[in-house]
Amino acid sequence: MTGRYANIIADISHEKLDRTFQYIIPDALQGRLEPGTAVMIPFGAGNKLIRGYVMEITDRAEYDVGKLKSVESVIEDAVTPEGDALRLAGWIKEHYGSTMIAALKTVLPVKRKLKPVVKRTICALEDADTLKLAAHDFEKKHQVAKARLLHELSVQPALPYSLVVGKLGVSPQTLRSLENAGLIRLEAHEAYKNSMPQGGAPGWQKKDVRQLSEAQLHIVNEIQTEYEAGIRGTYLIHGVTGSGKTEVYMELIERVRAMGKQAIVLIPEIALTYQTLIRFYRRFGERVSVMNSRLSPGERSDRYECARRGEIDIMIGPRSALFTPFERLGLVIIDEEHESGYKSESMPKYHAREVAGELCRIKRASLVLGSATPSIETYYRAKQGEIRLFTLKERLAGGALPQVRVEDMRRELKEGNRSIFSRRLYALMAERLKKGEQTMLFLNRRGYAGFVSCRACGHVMKCPHCDVSLSEHNVPHSGRMDGFSAAGRLVCHYCGYETPGVTKCPECGSKYILGFRAGTQQVEELLKKEFPNARVLRMDADTTRTKGSYEKILSAFANEEADILVGTQMIVKGHDFAGVTLVGILAADMSLHRNDFRAGERTFQLLTQAAGRAGRGTLGGEVVIQTYQPENYAIVHASRQDYEGFFEEELSYRDLMLYPPVAGMLAVLVLADDELLGAARARELADCAAKSFGAGGAAVIGPSGAGIGKINDVYRFVFYVKHRDYSVLVEVKDALERLIADRQWNSESVQFDFNPMSSY
């Protein structure tokens, strides 16, 4: 990487990331520096030589050149987690379009100076017999708390202070009294915050390792053979629900750990359940740590520090866990790799799957992707031979996949049933309640529908230019470029096409054309009305707001304290309930006709994942899919669990419409306090994008007002650029960044999103 100047940071804690220092790159070091390179630089009035890290190479001097100092030297072989993080940040900046500061704050964990956690333990000072005698004496004196504690200590001579005070109800005053009597001692020591789930403790008994099937063992051996041969590949494990992908992951981790390496396991936030994590803890004990969004900054900092110090070998968590500062990283696993949660919605808008690939390249590690319903992009790469594909076609327990039935809600309507439940689903739920078996009801989207369809014939109002459904707008849409009110209109969130709202179906003339408006709460209320004796749990964003509520609901259902669980997407992500023999999917069309070219793929994935929750125990399972378009290819293939058939049909559609993965797509979001200024900037940038193409084969769609035209008094405009060559889109992004710099616009006023996971 060439350039005359280097922007360098001398202290890479988060608190200092808003300040860089520019240095001249001397001729002797030209071509040797890149983001992440460790260097020695003269610093401060005394020009003391200190270590710094190159953040950016540039030809633009930000200060008076006569006052700039020069880089002293390159620190050879300075391979550190920080240096690798900076290299990764440089790649993110270039690949996704953001400032280097924003990229660094993404990849570098916050360092916080915190008071150490003090762990306190109650230890017995006498043998078990003496403690029992003393407990008996206290019972005679009606000193129940003292007696209860001494009885416990006679069995377990050391107990956590929190357990004694909390679960046993022993007061600190009582503890001091027993300590003064010479029966116990209170010990305290500093420690990092415990990363074990509730119920886990250091030194607990690990379960025996499960015997792998022949198919599972084949995958592990093949990946290990390539690893030992120096091949650091990318692999996709395509396994049906319940096929044992997690066992493969754990065996791979075991083997790379035996080579002295560390591993990162990414799991969607929504699937980070106690049930999932406990399997890793029982296999690997205290060498595991967990990252999730509900941790405090101090807890996150502690866990990153444990990783930096080499005290753990495995980090499990959502996409942020990818940036764990492991020095000896050997393996990255991304479970449920198709999940949209792996894509960041804030700048830089990176995808964890792509960043993991670059991280593995930097670290010389292997990348394993797993899913029952791989993303079209990943499976396309596998078909192209870019990554190696493995398949697991049978459930680990040997059970059959559930029987899936598709119910046509158009026929239900014609025959007089206007209920949320089809007659078949109602009958099957009643049957499960009689048998004492469990049911899960999955509502495909929470709250309201953004599309308009006919309940009589299934026709959906679509954009004639983008082949995505039009969204219903019943409130003034202030983001339009011509200022026209969009009240009562149908709008395309890609190109801005609009048409007046409809009251009758243009295909069959029916008056039953509207958005589906049933939410999880309405379903719950109807269930309680129809089945008053049923125990119903609801799980959605409203019922899981408080800490621990998510786990509480799932635990209650797993313990069979409820007959029916109603919920949104969060109930279908990797959960394993042996008592569930029926899954009902309400309103499959709600995701099928979102204003998004991935709507078909997401519907197929959701339906397949939801269906996979049924029949995971010894009992068989049934699934009922309710839809107004039973002939839609996504629903047909999902009902058959036919991924290959869906992939081929979906890919032909993507190829025709120039959508990923056949082509790349760049979304450019323009933000402005003034509506007219925002519209003008969006038009200028769109024109620049159109001019920056070489020879044809590209398309610029828009600009138009975003789906949500104004947030916090900031107007939003968007346009899209599509091209079959992804590198061309990067060049377009570079051209737009140059224009923004020349115009001296606020860098935050324009955001880039490559292959966006949803429309704006």
Which residue type, as a one-letter code, is found at position 742? Answer: D
What CA–CA distance (Å, rounded) separates 332 from 317? Answer: 12
Report the C-alpha gap between 339 and 358 in whole angstroms. 19
Amino acid at the residue 661: P
Average pLDDT over residues 725-752: 86
Spatial separation of the C-alpha atoms in residues 406 and 705, rounded to whole Å: 38
pLDDT at 662 over 60: yes
Please name the residues in contact with 65: beta carbons below 8 A apart, sequence gap of 6 or more.
Answer: 24
pLDDT at 544 over 80: no
Residue 169: how many CA atoms within 13 Å on its side-chain side? 5
Please report, to the nearest 10 degrees, the dihedral formed by the alpha carbons of residues 700, 701, 703, 706 taken in order.
Answer: -140
Mean pLDDT of the chain: 82
Residue 90 CA to residue 178 CA, distance in Å, equals 60
How many C-beta neighbours within 10 Å does residue 405 have?
15
Phi and psi of 177, rounded to 5°?
Answer: -65, -45
User: pLDDT by residue (tens digit) across 683-736?
Assistant: 999 999 988 775 566 789 989 888 778 777 889 999 999 999 888 898 899 899
Query: Pairing mode, if any, of strands 388-392 and 234-239?
Result: parallel
Kindly report, residue by residue over 559-606, the tens digit of the pLDDT.
Answer: 788 899 998 877 766 566 778 889 998 877 777 777 788 889 988 988
Q: Which of 184-188, 355-359, 487-491 has the lowest mean pLDDT?
A: 487-491
- pLDDT tens for each residue of 600-622: 998 898 888 877 777 665 677 88
Average the pLDDT over each of 28-32, 252-256, 570-574, 589-593 and give the range with the smallest value: 570-574
| Cα Dmax for the chain | 95
d(CA 505, CA 238) in angstroms, rounded, equals 41
Span of 130-139, 157-166, 300-309, 417-426 with lowest mean pLDDT: 157-166
Q: What local confidence, expressed as pLDDT, does residue 230 receive? A: 93
